[in-house]
Amino acid sequence: MQGNGIKEKEITIEQLLRLRQITESISELLERQLKSYIETLQPLFLPRKLLGDYIKSAYKEKVPGADQAIGELSAKYKAACDKPFRLSGQLETPLAPISNQIEVYPWEYVYEIEGERGTKSVTITSPVKWVLTYRSGYSLNRLGGVLKGQEEWQEKEIRQFLINALVMNMMISKVSGIKDLMAGLRYRLDIETSPDTGKLPLVTITSFIPSFRPPDNLILSATQLAGVTIFMEIIDIDAIYSLYDPLKSKIEKFLE
């Protein structure tokens, strides 16, 4: 996945060793907090609130705007079915039931580093950014494995993953207040694409706490010492003390 927009910051190997442990602890706290928020807000994300009877269910429910929503979903699905999935773009309705359970996956991307021995591909994980989608038979990581030929190709499960991701995309765009509510909780919602999943738009959620990549030579040293090709960005501890607070900024306007 893309790492564009991530700043780089000079640190020493000694600082990296100390900050890596702090980063892991803060990231675990942020993810636990995020999952708790999402679980509480789950009723806002119910797919039937958007698509109504276009989703198979024992309950019949007419939802205003569902006809327009299914048309938009069909167009998005057709576009997403191109490379690398190469699926038929025909969306059959009513859709199979979509789980109300929301999964939170780490945001990862492949970063190419030029070293003395050539180019090394390192999988970078963000400690402050995740992908949101409805639960399906494939996790985001397993889907990546399928596209790389490392997992069994199950077309039904791939189709369901695409549909689930697109419905989450539309929920974020159309349900009033979700973005503002998450911003109040210090998380930013965006819609992004990844080279790994073609034109499939993914909903990402990012903490207001920033992270950075150390210099390439430091990443190479750390991965070589650990004997792995994975690395986690480092949380910018210094920037935490100057974080922007939207509520504080609004209140300060009355004090001017």
Residue 116 falls inside a structural domain: yes
Residue 166 lies inside a defined structural domain of this protein? yes
Give Cα separations from 187 to 151, 196, 216 (angstroms).
33, 24, 28
Task: Evaluate whether residue 124 is within a structural domain.
Answer: yes
- Whether residue 198 lies inside any domain: the answer is yes
pLDDT of residue 228: 86
Band (195; pLDDT cuts 50, 70, 90)? confident
Range of the domain at 111: 7-251
pLDDT bin (cut points 50, 70, 90) of residue 231 is: very high
Map residue 32 onto helix, strand or coil: helix
> Cβ of 195: how many Cβ atoms within 10 Å?
10
For the question of whether the overall pTM of this predicted structure is more than 0.85, the answer is yes
pLDDT digits (tens, 9 = 90+) for 26-39: 999 999 999 999 99
141 lies in some domain: yes
Query: Could you give the C-alpha distances from 188 to 22, 136, 184, in angstroms and in order?
Result: 22, 24, 9
With respect to residue 44, please indicate whether it lies within any of the assigned structural domains: yes
pLDDT at 4 (0 to 100): 54
What is the CA 62 to chain-centroid distance, rounded?
Answer: 31
Residue 2 counted as domain residue: no
Going across the sheet that includes 234-235, the strands are 7-8, 211-213, 234-235
pLDDT at residue 64, as a whole number: 92
Is 256 contained in some domain? Answer: no
How many domains is the chain partitioned into structurally?
1
The rounded distance, in Å, linking the Cα atoms of 230 and 232 is 7
**Host H or E run for residue 207:** strand 202-207
* pLDDT tens-place string over residues 43-91: 999 999 999 999 998 777 789 999 999 999 999 999 999 889 989 889 9
